[in-house]
């Protein structure tokens, strides 16, 4: 919604606000998008809905299916990497990280680089940005902060992530709040 410069209220909750609201959400979780008094929960459902509203879901049914496929893959990447973040033992964590990078991230990055090269538009699908591009931006921005080497041989993917990160609305969103 920030990227599309959509008109919405971005309500970020502190712990006390969340505890007060928790029982009033569909599944007792956030995020929740409220539209005209109706709540929509679950990140993928919200993302898909917002993408459609803002012309970022794909131009036709096939582009939309590919965007959904990529967003689902980002979720798979997150699930596959969970041990790297939940493991408390530093040695085991290093082991999990190395295995995750070698077995999951490296092949994924190679495939994404091939997809970007084949598409030729600078985006994963079609000629414009989709919510899939934003999903990978979010994932790789977080991941590369911890594993800087992960995209060293992926100039097209790095370029996509940088382009999105340099978009004025994303820069504004990521800027620290004014004091």
Find the CATH number of the domain harbouring 127.
1.20.1050.10
Could you say which DSSP state residue 59 is in?
Answer: S
Specify if 69 maps to a domain: yes
Specify if 135 maps to a domain: yes
**In which domain, by residue range, is 158 found?**
61-165
Specify if 79 maps to a domain: yes
Specify if 170 maps to a domain: no
**pLDDT per residue as tens digits for the range 46-68:** 999 999 999 999 999 999 999 99
- Counting the structural domains of the chain, the total is 1
Specify if 133 maps to a domain: yes
Q: What's the pLDDT band for 13 if we cut at 50, 70, 90? A: confident
Mean residue pLDDT of the chain comes to: 91
Residue linked to tokens 């509203």: 53
Specify if 89 maps to a domain: yes
**pLDDT per residue as tens digits for the range 138-177:** 999 876 666 667 888 899 999 999 999 999 999 988 887 6
Taking the complete model, does pTM exceed 0.85, yes or no?
Answer: yes
CA nearest to 56, candidates 129, 157, 147, 136: 129
Specify if 32 maps to a domain: no
- Report the b/e string of 10-24 with b at 16+ CB within 10 A: eeeeeeeeeeeeeee
**pLDDT per residue as tens digits for the range 84-117:** 778 889 999 889 988 998 999 999 999 999 999 9
Q: For residues 131 and 12, which has the higher predicted lDDT (pLDDT)?
A: 131
Instruction: State whether residue 33 is helix, strand or coil.
Output: strand
| Separation between Cα atoms, residue 19 and residue 30, nearest integer Å | 11
């Amino acid at each position: 919604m920030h990227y599309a410069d959509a008109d919405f209220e971005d309500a970020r909750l502190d712990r006390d606000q969340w505890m007060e609201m928790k029982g009033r959400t569909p599944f007792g979780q956030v995020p929740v998008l409220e539209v005209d008094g109706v709540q929509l929960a679950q990140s993928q459902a919200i993302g898909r809905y917002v993408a459609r509203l803002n012309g970022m879901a794909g131009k036709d049914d096939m582009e939309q299916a590919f965007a959904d496929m990529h967003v689902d893959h980002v979720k798979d990447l997150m699930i596959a990497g969970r041990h790297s973040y939940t493991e408390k033992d530093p040695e085991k964590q290093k082991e999990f990280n190395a295995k995750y990078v070698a077995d999951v991230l490296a092949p994924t990055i190679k495939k994404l680089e091939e997809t970007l090269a084949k598409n030729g538009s600078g985006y994963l699908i079609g000629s414009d940005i989709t919510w899939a591009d934003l999903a990978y931006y979010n994932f790789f921005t977080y991941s590369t902060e911890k594993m800087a080497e992960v995209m060293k041989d992926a100039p097209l993917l790095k370029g996509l992530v940088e382009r999105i990160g340099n978009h004025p609305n994303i820069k504004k969103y990521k800027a620290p709040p004014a004091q």
